[in-house]
Structure 1
Amino acid sequence: MCGIIGVAGSAGGTREVLLDGLANLEYRGYDSAGIAVDGGASRERNAAARGGIDVAKKEGELSALRRALVGETIDGSVGIGHTRWSTHGPPSDRNAHPHTDGAGRVAVVHNGIIENHESLRTELEAKGVAFSSDTDSEVVPHLIAEALARGADPEAAFREAVSRLDGSYALAAIVEGAGAIFAARHDSPLVLGIGDGANYLASDVPAFLEHTRDVVYLEDGEFAVLTADAWRVEDASGEPVEKEVQTVEWSAEQTGKSGYDHFMLKEIHEQPKALRGCLRGRVDELDGCVAVEGLDGLEAPAEVQFVACGTSYHAALYGAYLLGDAGVATAAYLASEYATSQPPLSPDTLVVGITQSGETADTLSALRKARGRGAETLALTNVVGSTAARECDHVMHLRAGPEIGVAATKTFSSQLVGLNLLIEELLPDASRGDVRELVSALRDLPAQVQEVLDDSRAADVVDEYFGAKSFFFVGRGVHYPVALEGALKFKEITYEHAEGFAAGELKHGPLALVTAETPVFAVVTGDGENARKTIGNVKEVEARDAPVVVVTDGVSDAAMYADSVLEIPAVHERTAPVLANVQLQLVAYHMAARLGRAIDKPRNLAKSVTVE
Structure 2
Amino acid sequence: MAGTQVVAEMAEQPAVLAAIIARRAAIHAEVRAALPQTLRGVALIARGSSDNVAVHARYLLELATGLPVSLVAPSLVTRYGFVTDMRDHLVVALSQSGRTPEIVDVAGRFADGGACVVAVTNEADSPLADVAAVTLSVGTSRELAVPATKTVTGQLALVTLLAEAAGADGALDAFTGGPAAWGQLVDAVAQTLADTDPLDAAVALLASKGSGIHLARGLTYAAALEGALKAKETTRGIHEGFSSADFLHGPLTVASPEVVVVAYGATGPVLVDVAETARAAVALGSPVIGVGHPDVAAGIDGAIGVPTPQGLGEALAVIPLVVRGQQLAIRTTLALGSDPDAPQGLNKVTATH
TM normalised by structure 2 equals 0.91
> Hey, what's the Cα distance between the residues in 2 that align with 1:510 and 1:413?
28
Q: Residues of 2 paired with 1:402 and 1:459: CA distance? A: 30
Residue 277 of structure 1 is aligned with which of 19, 33, 54?
Answer: 19
TM-superposed CA distance for 1:537, in Å, is 0.5
CA distance in 2, matches of 1:557, 1:430: 28
Aligned runs of 1:262-411 on 2, under 5 Å? 262-283=4-25, 291-292=27-28, 294-295=30-31, 297-299=33-35, 301-326=39-64, 327-336=66-75, 339-340=78-79, 342=82, 344-411=84-151
Partners of 1:373 and 1:358 lie apart in 2 by: 20
2:286 matched residue in structure 1: 546
Q: Relative to 1, partners in 2 of residues 1:593 and 1:334: Cα closer, same or farther, differing over 3 Å?
A: farther
Q: Distance in 1 between matches of 2:62 and 2:51?
A: 16
CA contact (8 A) 1:405 1:600 kept: yes
Measure how far apart 1:262 and its partner are: 1.7
Tell me the SS of whatever aligns to 1:446: helix
Residue 481 (str. 1) matches residue 219 (str. 2): no
1:579 paired to 2:320: yes
Asked whether the 8 Å contact 2:3–2:330 carries over to 1, the reply is no
CA gap of 1:323–1:295, structure 2 versus 1, over 3 A, is: closer
The CA deviation string for residues 571-612 of structure 1, in whole angstroms up to 9 with x for no partner, is 221111101111111000011101122311111111112342
CA distance in 2, matches of 1:321, 1:364: 23
Decide whether the 8 Å contact of 1:274 with 1:401 is kept in 2: no
In structure 2, runs of 5+ residues without a counterpart are none
Structure 1 residues 469 and 260: CA distance shift in structure 2, 3 A: closer
Partner secondary structure for residue 482 of structure 1 = helix
TM-score by length of structure 1 reads 0.54
- 5+ residue gaps in structure 1? 1-258, 284-289
> How far 1:469 sits from its partner (Å)?
2.5
1:534 is aligned to 2:274: yes
Higher relative contact order (CA 8 A, sep 6+): 2
Tell me which moved more, 505-514 or 426-435: 426-435
CA contact (8 A) 2:297 2:305 kept: no
Offset at 1:302?
A: 2.9
Report the identity percentage: 27
Match of 1:559 among 298, 302, 318: 298
What is the match of residue 207 of structure 2?
466
Distance 1:338 1:307, change over 3 A: farther
Partner residue in 2 for 1:4: none
Give me the whole-angstrom Cα distance separating, in 2, the residues matched to 1:514 and 1:432. 36
SS at match of 1:295: helix
CA distance 1:492–1:379, change in 2 (3 Å): same
Kept in 2: contact 1:275–1:400 (CA 8 A)? no
Secondary structure at the aligned position of 2:93 is classed as strand
Return the offset for 1:563: 1.2
The separation in 2 between residues aligned to 1:314 and 1:332, in whole angstroms, is 11
- Whether contact under 8 Å (2:138, 2:155) holds in the other structure is yes
CA distance in 2, matches of 1:436, 1:306: 21
* Coordinate RMSD, CA, aligned: 2.3
Letter in 2 for 1:551: V
Higher strand share: 1
Looking at structure 2, the residues matched to 336 and 591 of structure 1 have their Cα atoms a distance apart, in angstroms, of 34
Structure 1 residues 107-256: aligned runs within 5 Å: none
| Amino acid across the alignment from 1:558 | A
Displacement, 1:260?
8.7
CA deviations 1:266-297 (Å, max 9, x no partner) are 111111011112222324xxxxxx64464352
Structure-2 residue corresponding to 1:601: 342
Question: Cα offset for 1:430?
Answer: 7.2
- Quote the offset at 1:312 in angstroms: 0.2
How many residue pairs were aligned? Answer: 346
Relative to structure 1, the CA distance from residue 311 to residue 430 in structure 2 (aligned partners, 3 Å threshold; closer, same or farther) is: closer
Return the offset for 1:461.
1.1
Give the one of 449, 459, 465 matched to 2:189: 449
**Greater helix share, structure number:** 2
Paired residue secondary structure (1:461): helix
